[in-house]
Amino acid sequence: MTTAIRKSDRRVSPVFLGIAAVTAVAGWAVWTDFAASVGFAVFLFVTGGWITSLCLHEYAHARTALHSGDITIGAKGYLTLNPLKYTHALLSVVLPVIFVILGGIGLPGGAVFIERHRIRGRWKHSLISAAGPLTNVLFALACTAPFWLHALSGVPTAFRYALGFLALLQVTAAILNSLPIPGLDGYGVIEPWLSYKVRRQVEPFARYGLLAVFVLLFFIPQVNRAFFDTIDAILGALGVSDVDSYCGRNLFSFWTSRNEYYCGT
């Protein structure tokens, strides 16, 4: 099934490698306190890490689709991890980054176009949709590993806070994108199991799913409070305190009055 995929279709994009390099250098600057502004270095590290996770999120969708029967994935450039190859680059990269800057939440948008008619079996369709959020779960576990493994001895405070905030973004992305709302991956998981009539009735609302989530979170205080209480509980179970994520967000927002000294870094 993968024999139709050319080697160039699978080669990691220089764009992705550049993003990973910026993330690594920014992480080094935070760790060593080399940067003139710790907050700016945290911003680059977290933003780079977030975009990297977005690329991996969409790669997981594409790779699962490839092995499920859609051999057109390679020719579309989805296996190169290049965010510029996504069907909706604005929704896939720019908008999620804006969400992070404005509200401190991780919310992946729409991205890869999968030719679903090539795929047989409801379980395969569900797995393709689930692959993205599962990638965020794995990324969250990687970010929180130093916390739940109690391996933070010697880790610079600013770097710890940055990891805490990046973990928060991954947890919020995994939860929000798993909601059974049209347009999100959670709905994609259950859609194959719905009747044709229900799918046709829901289809017109898919384009508004992301907007609906945004409105609920930012304009209904009770929903916002309940959501972030849940996020704090999950992060707490993984060893990340609300101080870690809160101070990480403060450092990330270097352009505000909250600067790197606010949390004692």
CA–CA distance, 232 with 221 (Å, rounded to integer): 16
Decide: helix, strand or coil at residue 93.
Answer: helix
Helices (H), 178-241: 185-190, 196-202, 209-219, 221-237
Instruction: Judge whether 55 and 132 are in contact, CB under 8 Å.
Output: no
Instruction: Judge whether 95 and 183 are in contact, CB under 8 Å.
Output: no
Residue 146 CA, distance from chain mean position: 20
Does the annotation count 58 as an active-site position?
yes
CA–CA distance, 237 with 242 (Å, rounded to integer): 11
Q: What is the dihedral of CA 71, 73, 79, 81, to 10 degrees?
A: -170
Tokens of 251: 């450092």
Q: Exposed, middle or buried, 195 (CB in 10 Å: 0-12/13-18/19+)?
A: exposed
Catalytic residue among 58, 191, 203, 260: 58
Instruction: Judge whether 59 and 81 are in contact, CB under 8 Å.
Output: yes
Cβ contacts of 182 within 8 Å, gap of 6 or more:
202, 203, 205, 206, 208, 209
CA–CA distance, 215 with 224 (Å, rounded to integer): 10
Decide: helix, strand or coil at residue 191.
Answer: helix
Residues catalogued as catalytic: 58
